[in-house]
């Protein structure tokens, strides 16, 4: 079991998820966030926080997004941790509207 | 004196309660720009609150939140002062003298009552008692639960109700390699339960389970999850709720209920767990033991997301041998701290404690369930504690009285004068190590000590 950030986060990075993560398992790059499966405790607190519904449990992830399981593990291992909510990326609101939220 | 919050004059904070909200408050203080010394005071010899004694034993991964708390406890400016009860061993007034501020993160320790006739008959329990008992909490060690019954009823459809029903639905094989208390496992091994009914006041679109927890009912080795198709019929308002973007959790829950309703009954499984909706408890009938539960059929009324359950006067009865109520939790008042009687919380403004009329009380803060009521999961408390600490840090000027305070060292001398055996983090770690050691040959992550004297006897 693990929890995964998928492509809806790309160019949004709202980071609402980060402030409810009990174990600081989110990592970030310039585009989006990733969850470290080694640290995540599968509490699912982050899932309803995401304004663009980018986060899934692996039990529940759509087939076309399954490759994100590996991407999260790989990226999180290399990237810095994010522990506090930050400003969304510029253009996040437009991107959110584009995604239909 | 130098400015408060600097190396020469650190901010001294006492936190009451060592559950998640207490540790997240400590974390926010330790990571802040201000130099702070944090002393967490805990009633039991063991820390971690509901992560140790609330989170179900078959959810070991959730308990890994403790790894982060261990890191926080390792900070040089952190003390655990355990086995000490605030309000009994040391007063809030005393803490206000030894520390610049006191943060109450002591949770919601008691259950809301159903307020119906028969509630106190034998066989009627609170979920808190059962959860504390199977998790080895010393307060609930001596309780007895009679599982030689056919039918158990759980009133409530939140995460605790899900935990209680799942533990009752599982076999010993499904539980024996968890950190469930041995005394509980022994009683569960003799369980004769055939039916478990999980009853909600509102409908399947309003149940407060998490999808992950509900999904587990579809994977039980000896129990069929059952939902009648007719119970899945929604009114227009509930349909609107599920169509609303952003309501993904309830949508998933409803989808899982629909899946369960289509399952073929596996006759090899000996138990059935029924999820039932739109039923409000009216009366528990019995002589000394509970025998029947009278439920009133409800309808929903109101706007989407604001629907409440209204009784129809039509009632049904079910035979029941053991009942657990899980309809919400309340905090317990602490001497010297304002308390909101109806809500069972400490009145506050973003974590600053206030009187019931809204006037801010200097030096007192709160976070977690005792601040906002019993909602949310472990991580919700991180955001909650962080809000409180932001307020506290912006009050520094007000908290600086110019007089020297002595923090933990003064608490220790007060406790020693009263001969109170306090437990620090290193001493707790000895208990922790021993529990893991005892669990190992049984294939359990740990075997918990369930008596305080036993815990204390381990400390060298």
| pLDDT value, residue B20 | 98
**Testing the interface with B: which of A23, A51, A100 to mutate, by most B Cβ within 10 A?**
A23
| pLDDT value, residue B246 | 79
Chain B residues touching residue A42 (CB < 8 angstroms): 61-62, 212
Chain A residues touching residue B31 (CB < 8 angstroms): 83
The answer to whether B290 touches B124, Cβ cutoff 8 Å, is yes
Query: Do B442 and B365 lie in a common domain?
Result: yes
Q: Taking residues B370-381, report their average pLDDT.
A: 93
Q: Considering just the CA atoms, what is the radius of gyration of chain A in Å?
A: 12
ipTM (interface predicted TM)? 0.90
Query: Do B350 and B390 lie in a common domain?
Result: yes
The band of B383, judged by pLDDT with boundaries at 50, 70 and 90, is: very high
Question: What does pLDDT average to over chain B?
Answer: 96
Summarize pLDDT for A38-48 with one digit per residue, the tens: 999 999 999 99
| Single pTM value for the model | 0.94
Given an 8 Å threshold on Cβ–Cβ distance, is B61 in contact with A60?
no
At CA B241, angle to CA B239 and CA B244, rounded to 5?
110
Main-chain phi, psi angles of B92, to 5 degrees:
-65, -35
Asked if residue B396 belongs to a domain, the reply is yes
Alpha carbon distance A11, A99 (integer Å)? 11
Query: Do B302 and B382 lie in a common domain?
Result: no
Domain closes at, from B300, B328, B356: B328
Lookup result for tokens 């629909």: B258
| Residue partners of B330: CB distance under 8 A and separation at least 6 | B108, B109, B110, B111, B112, B343, B344, B345, B374
Query: Do B161 and B239 lie in a common domain?
Result: yes
Nearest CA in chain B to A22: B379
Summarize pLDDT for B115-124 with one digit per residue, the tens: 999 999 999 9
Query: Do B169 and B288 lie in a common domain?
Result: yes
At CA B160, angle to CA B157 and CA B164, rounded to 5?
95
- CATH number of the CATH domain containing B355: 3.40.50.720
Q: Which two tokens stand for residue B190?
A: 């003799």
| pLDDT value, residue B384 | 96
Summarize pLDDT for B202-224 with one digit per residue, the tens: 999 999 999 999 999 999 999 99
Main-chain phi, psi angles of B225, to 5 degrees:
-80, 135
Domain closes at, from B274, B298, B328: B328
Summarize pLDDT for B27-79 with one digit per residue, the tens: 999 999 999 999 999 999 999 999 999 999 999 999 999 999 999 999 999 99
| pLDDT value, residue B197 | 98
Strand pairing category for B78-82 and B36-42: parallel
| pLDDT value, residue B2 | 86
For residue B64, the distance in angstroms to the closest alpha carbon of chain A comes to 6
Burial class (CB in 10 A: 0-12, 13-18, 19+), B368: buried
Domain closes at, from B328, B359, B388: B328
Given an 8 Å threshold on Cβ–Cβ distance, is A1 in contact with B61?
yes
Burial class (CB in 10 A: 0-12, 13-18, 19+), B208: middle
Summarize pLDDT for B398-417 with one digit per residue, the tens: 999 888 899 999 999 999 99
Alpha carbon distance B258, B143 (integer Å)? 37
Alpha carbon distance B272, B196 (integer Å)? 6
Alpha carbon distance B225, A46 (integer Å)? 27
- CATH number of the CATH domain containing B311: 3.50.50.60
Nearest CA in chain A to B255: A60
| pLDDT value, residue B457 | 97
Asked if residue B6 belongs to a domain, the reply is no
Given an 8 Å threshold on Cβ–Cβ distance, is B65 in contact with A53?
no
Asked if residue B392 belongs to a domain, the reply is yes
Check pLDDT > 90 for residue B355.
yes
Q: What's the residue count for chain A?
A: 101
Asked if residue B399 belongs to a domain, the reply is yes
Chain B residues touching residue A52 (CB < 8 angstroms): none
| pLDDT value, residue B403 | 87
| pLDDT value, residue B376 | 86
Asked if residue B3 belongs to a domain, the reply is no
Check pLDDT > 90 for residue B346.
yes
Task: Work out the number of other CB atoms within 10 angstroms of the CB of residue B264.
Answer: 6
Asked if residue B2 belongs to a domain, the reply is no
Asked if residue B171 belongs to a domain, the reply is yes
Task: Give B298's Cβ-side CA count (13 Å radius).
Answer: 21
Alpha carbon distance B241, B304 (integer Å)? 6
For residue B380, give Cα distances in angstroms to A82, B258, B307, B389.
Answer: 17, 29, 24, 15
For residue A24, the distance in angstroms to the closest alpha carbon of chain B comes to 9
> DSSP letters along B59-94, please?
-TTGGGHHHHHHHHHTSTTEEEEES--BTTTB-HHH
Check pLDDT > 80 for residue B1.
no
Given an 8 Å threshold on Cβ–Cβ distance, is A51 in contact with B246?
yes
Chain A residues touching residue B63 (CB < 8 angstroms): 41
B248 CB near a chain A CB, below 8 Å? yes
Given an 8 Å threshold on Cβ–Cβ distance, is A41 in contact with B383?
no
Query: Do B383 and B254 lie in a common domain?
Result: no
Number of domains in chain B: 2
Check pLDDT > 90 for residue B375.
no
* Range of the structural domain that residue B147 is part of: 112-328
B380 CB near a chain A CB, below 8 Å? yes
Summarize pLDDT for B302-338 with one digit per residue, the tens: 999 999 999 999 999 999 999 999 998 999 999 999 9
Query: Do B177 and B77 lie in a common domain?
Result: no
For residue B54, the distance in angstroms to the closest alpha carbon of chain A comes to 14
Given an 8 Å threshold on Cβ–Cβ distance, is B68 in contact with A101?
no
Query: Do B273 and B324 lie in a common domain?
Result: yes
A38 CB near a chain B CB, below 8 Å? no
Given an 8 Å threshold on Cβ–Cβ distance, is A44 in contact with B377?
yes
> DSSP letters along B422-454, please?
-B-HHHHHHHHHHHHHHHGGGT-S-----SHHH
For residue A30, the distance in angstroms to the closest alpha carbon of chain B comes to 24
Query: Do B300 and B347 lie in a common domain?
Result: no
| Residue partners of B423: CB distance under 8 A and separation at least 6 | B45, B80, B81, B82, B83, B455, B456, B459
Asked if residue B5 belongs to a domain, the reply is no
Check pLDDT > 90 for residue B9.
yes
| pLDDT value, residue B445 | 97
The band of A59, judged by pLDDT with boundaries at 50, 70 and 90, is: confident
A23 CB near a chain B CB, below 8 Å? yes
> DSSP letters along A15-44, please?
-GGGGG-TT--EEE-SS-EEE-TTT-----
Query: Do B280 and B355 lie in a common domain?
Result: no
Q: Taking residues B178-203, report their average pLDDT.
A: 98
Which residues, listed in sequence order, are joined to residue B272 by a DSSP beta bridge? B195, B224
Chain A residues touching residue B249 (CB < 8 angstroms): 47-48
A46 CB near a chain B CB, below 8 Å? yes
| pLDDT value, residue A1 | 77
Query: Do B185 and B312 lie in a common domain?
Result: yes
Query: Do B427 and B301 lie in a common domain?
Result: no
Nearest CA in chain A to B24: A22
B33 CB near a chain A CB, below 8 Å? no
Task: Work out the number of other CB atoms within 10 angstroms of the CB of residue B163.
Answer: 24
The share of chain B scoring above pLDDT 90, in percent, equals: 95
All structural domains of chain A, each given as residue ranges with its CATH number in brackets, are 3-87 (3.30.70.20)
């Amino acid at each position: 079991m693990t929890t995964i950030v998928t492509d809806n986060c790309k160019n949004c990075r709202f980071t609402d998820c980060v402030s409810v993560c009990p174990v600081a398992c989110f990592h970030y790059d310039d585009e989006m966030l990733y969850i470290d499966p080694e640290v995540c405790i599968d509490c699912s607190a982050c899932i309803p926080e995401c304004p663009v519904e980018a986060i899934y449990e692996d039990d529940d992830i759509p087939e076309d997004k399954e490759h994100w399981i590996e991407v999260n593990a790989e990226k999180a291992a290399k990237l810095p941790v994010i522990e506090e909510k930050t400003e969304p990326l510029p253009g996040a609101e437009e991107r959110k509207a584009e995604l239909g939220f | 004196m130098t400015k408060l919050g600097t190396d020469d004059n650190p901010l001294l904070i006492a936190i009451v309660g060592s559950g998640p909200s207490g540790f997240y408050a400590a974390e926010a203080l330790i990571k802040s720009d201000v130099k702070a010394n944090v002393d967490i005071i805990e009633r039991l010899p063991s820390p971690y609150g509901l992560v140790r004694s609330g989170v179900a034993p078959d959810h070991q991964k959730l308990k890994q939140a403790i790894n982060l708390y261990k890191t926080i406890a390792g900070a040089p400016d952190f003390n655990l002062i355990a086995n000490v009860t605030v309000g009994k061993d040391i007063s809030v007034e005393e803490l206000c003298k030894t520390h610049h501020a006191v943060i109450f993160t002591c949770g919601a320790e008691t259950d809301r009552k159903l307020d119906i006739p028969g509630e106190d008959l034998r066989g009627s329990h609170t979920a808190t008692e059962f959860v504390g008992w199977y998790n080895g909490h010393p307060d609930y060690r001596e309780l007895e639960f009679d599982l030689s019954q056919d039918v158990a009823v759980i009133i409530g459809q939140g995460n605790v109700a899900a935990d209680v029903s799942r533990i009752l639905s599982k076999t010993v094989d499904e539980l024996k390699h968890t950190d469930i208390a041995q005394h509980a496992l022994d009683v569960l091994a003799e369980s004769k339960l055939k039916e478990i009914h999980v009853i909600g006041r509102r409908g399947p679109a309003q149940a407060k389970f998490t999808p992950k927890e509900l999904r587990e009912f579809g994977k039980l080795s000896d129990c069929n999850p059952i939902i009648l198709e007719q119970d899945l019929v929604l009114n227009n308002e509930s349909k609107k709720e599920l169509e609303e973007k952003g309501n993904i959790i309830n949508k998933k829950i409803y989808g899982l209920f629909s899946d369960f309703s289509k399952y073929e009954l596996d006759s090899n499984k000996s138990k059935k767990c029924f999820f039932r909706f739109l039923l409000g408890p009216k009366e528990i009938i019995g002589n000394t033991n509970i025998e029947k539960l009278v439920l009133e059929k409800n309808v929903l009324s109101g706007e989407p997301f604001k629907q409440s359950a209204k009784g129809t006067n039509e009632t049904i009865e079910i035979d029941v041998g053991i009942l657990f109520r899980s309809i919400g939790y309340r905090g317990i008042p602490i001497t010297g701290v304002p308390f909101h009687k109806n809500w069972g919380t400490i009145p506050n403004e973003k974590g600053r404690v206030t009187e019931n009329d809204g006037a801010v009380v200097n030096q007192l803060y709160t976070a977690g369930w005792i601040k906002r009521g019993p909602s949310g999961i472990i991580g919700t408390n991180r955001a909650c504690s962080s809000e409180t600490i932001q307020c506290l840090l912006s009050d520094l000027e007000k908290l600086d009285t110019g007089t020297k305070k002595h923090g933990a060292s003064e608490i220790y001398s007060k406790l020693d004068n009263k001969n109170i055996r306090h437990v620090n983090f290193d001493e707790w770690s000895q208990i922790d190590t021993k529990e893991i050691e005892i669990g190992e040959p049984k294939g359990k992550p740990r075997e918990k000590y369930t008596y305080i004297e036993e815990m204390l006897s381990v400390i060298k």
